[in-house]
């Protein structure tokens, strides 16, 4: 093979704040031996600033409702200019990269599924699944971040199992650490007597934050020392703020918006909550575990692959406020349980979900595909 660095173009729906985008940034930063470029189908977002300066960034500027084929042809021109050895697209919102890469003569094509969106949370959309099957012969490897997503692609979408590969998300266990606890409490501006329940993520429908607000309102009525914190922004923020006020919780709930000190903020929480109706493998959940926080999460998607119920946290059904209330209550009055589950969560994150392990598996995948194509 040539001595020049392997050229990889990553194609994503957006570079806004989100789990998929966070995973991309982690992979690119952990594999500096490759020459990376990132193409965003939509506008560049906040996470564009987190990419290394050596990474070329391109936006296709696709507008909502614009036909996929138009963006695909713009992408085709970009790929012919960049001349990548391998194209790696992620999720349904970037799937047009597969035919574009094939038409551009790219030697190796990878597509990833990181999770499903609110428009199709169960992955049952027949039109989308037909298109996934149609494109499968063009793809060398289809990566999922959880066994749950792999099972869906194999059993529901009917993709060939031999092409499927699970690479779980990884977390930087030094950046996210219990050691930042004091810094986090200061950033949250809370006393030692205050118990802080919190969540981190984009404020959109798939996370089902209204259910968290409803559950927390019941918790707060019985406990003066508890607060709820939302870290992140998104289309539902105004509605969630209004809902908190309507529940009489305006003074007990804080919306911090986008923050650059997320590792400290997570360490400053007492309980981390993820009430999603669908998940691939949540990066923020991994970050909370690495920070030594006990977690309460809905048992959807890949979450049960992360959270060991009753050991590192508590799993509850989706869209079930009463179950969420009970789970939060269990930690609220038992500091020993919070400590035990938090320590177990940290240990599991370090042992099984380190960033280096994830990066190594992507490195091996990229090199193997490039070498195979070089030999053809």
pLDDT in tens, 156-210: 999 999 999 999 999 999 999 999 999 999 999 999 999 999 999 999 999 999 9
Burial 332-371 (b: 16+ CB within 10 A, else e): beeeeebeebbebbbebbeeebbbeebbebbbebbeebbe
The tokens of 103 are what? 């038409």
Domain assignments of the chain as residue spans, ordered by start: 7-170+354-375, 178-352
Task: Name 277's Cβ contacts closer than 8 Å, sequence gap at least 6.
Answer: 118, 121, 206, 207, 208, 298, 300, 318, 319
CA angle 19, 68, 132 (to 5 degrees): 65
Q: Which tokens sit at 310?
A: 């009753």
At residue 309 the predicted structure's pLDDT band, cuts being 50, 70 and 90, is: very high
Average pLDDT of span 81-95: 95
Question: In the chain, what percentage of residues exceed pLDDT 70?
Answer: 98
Q: For residue 232, what is the DSSP state?
A: B
Nearest to 15 by CA among 170, 202, 230, 236: 202
> Quick one: CA dihedral 164, 22, 313, 213, positive or negative?
negative
Give just the sign of the alpha carbon dihedral 151, 152, 158, 163: negative
> Domain 7-170+354-375, CATH 3.40.50.2000 — does that match?
yes
285 and 171 in contact (C-beta within 8 Å)? no
- What are the CA-CA distances from residue 70 to residues 59, 80, 98 (Å)? 14, 16, 14
Q: pLDDT digit string (tens) for 205-224?
A: 999 999 999 999 999 998 99
> Is 102 in contact with 109 (CB distance < 8 Å)?
yes
Instruction: Specify the pLDDT at position 373.
Output: 61
Q: Comparing C-alpha atoms, which of 145, 252, 119 is closest to residue 197?
A: 252
CATH superfamily entry for domain 178-352: Glycogen Phosphorylase B; (3.40.50.2000)
Per-residue pLDDT tens over the stretch 226-278: 999 999 999 999 999 999 999 999 999 999 999 999 999 999 999 999 999 99
Tokens at 366, concatenated? 């990229």
Coil, helix or strand at residue 10:
strand
- The number of residues in the chain equals 376
Which whole number is the average pLDDT over 344-349?
A: 98
Instruction: Say what percent of the chain tops pLDDT 90.
Output: 84
d(Cα 256, Cα 200) in Å, to the nearest integer?
10
Q: Model confidence over 7-30: pLDDT tens digits?
A: 999 999 988 877 888 889 999 999
Q: Identify each DSSP E strand in 157-241 by its residue range.
A: 164-166, 195-200, 226-231
> Which helix (H) or strand (E) element contains residue 113?
strand 108-113
Whole-model pTM?
Answer: 0.90
Return the exposure string of 191-205: e unless at least 16 CB atoms fall within 10 Å of the residue's CB, then b: eeeebbbbbbbbbbb
Residues 259 and 198 sit within 8 Å (Cβ to Cβ): no
Sort strands 295-298 and 271-274 into parallel, antiparallel or unpaired.
Answer: parallel
């Amino acid at each position: 093979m040539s001595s020049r660095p392997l050229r990889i173009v990553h194609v994503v729906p957006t570079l806004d704040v989100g789990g998929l985008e966070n995973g991309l940034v982690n992979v690119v930063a952990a594999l500096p031996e490759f020459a990376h470029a990132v193409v965003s189908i939509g506008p560049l977002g906040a996470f564009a600033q987190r990419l290394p300066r050596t990474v070329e960034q391109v936006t296709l500027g696709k507008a909502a409702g614009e036909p996929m084929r138009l963006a695909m042809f713009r992408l085709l021109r970009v790929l012919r200019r960049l001349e990548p050895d391998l194209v790696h697209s992620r999720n349904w919102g970037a799937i047009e990269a597969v035919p574009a890469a094939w038409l551009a003569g790219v030697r190796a094509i990878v597509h990833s599924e990181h999770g499903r969106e609110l428009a199709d949370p169960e992955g049952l959309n027949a039109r989308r699944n037909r298109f996934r099957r149609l494109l499968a012969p063009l793809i060398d490897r289809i990566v999922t971040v959880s066994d749950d997503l792999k099972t869906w692609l194999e059993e529901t979408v009917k993709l060939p199992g031999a092409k499927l590969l699970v690479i779980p998300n990884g977390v930087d266990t030094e950046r996210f650490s219990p050691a930042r606890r004091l810094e986090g409490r200061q950033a949250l501006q809370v006393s030692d007597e205050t118990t802080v329940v919190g969540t981190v993520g984009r404020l959109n429908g798939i996370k089902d934050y209204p259910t968290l607000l409803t559950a927390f309102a019941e918790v707060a009525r019985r406990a003066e020392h508890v607060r709820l914190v939302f870290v992140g922004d998104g289309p539902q923020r105004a509605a969630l703020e209004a809902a908190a006020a309507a529940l009489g919780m305006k003074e007990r709930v804080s919306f911090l918006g986008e923050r650059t000190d997320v590792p400290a903020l997570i360490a400053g929480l007492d309980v981390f909550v993820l009430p999603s109706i669908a998940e691939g493998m949540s990066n923020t959940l991994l970050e909370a575990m690495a920070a030594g926080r006990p977690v309460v999460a809905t048992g959807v998607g890949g979450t049960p692959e992360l959270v060991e119920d009753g050991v590192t946290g508590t799993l509850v059904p989706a869209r079930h406020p009463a179950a969420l209330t009970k789970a939060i209550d269990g930690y609220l009055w038992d500091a020993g349980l919070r400590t035990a589950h938090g320590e177990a969560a940290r240990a599991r994150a370090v042992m099984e979900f380190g960033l280096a392990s994830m990066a190594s598996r992507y490195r091996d995948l990229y090199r193997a595909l490039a070498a195979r194509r070089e030999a053809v």
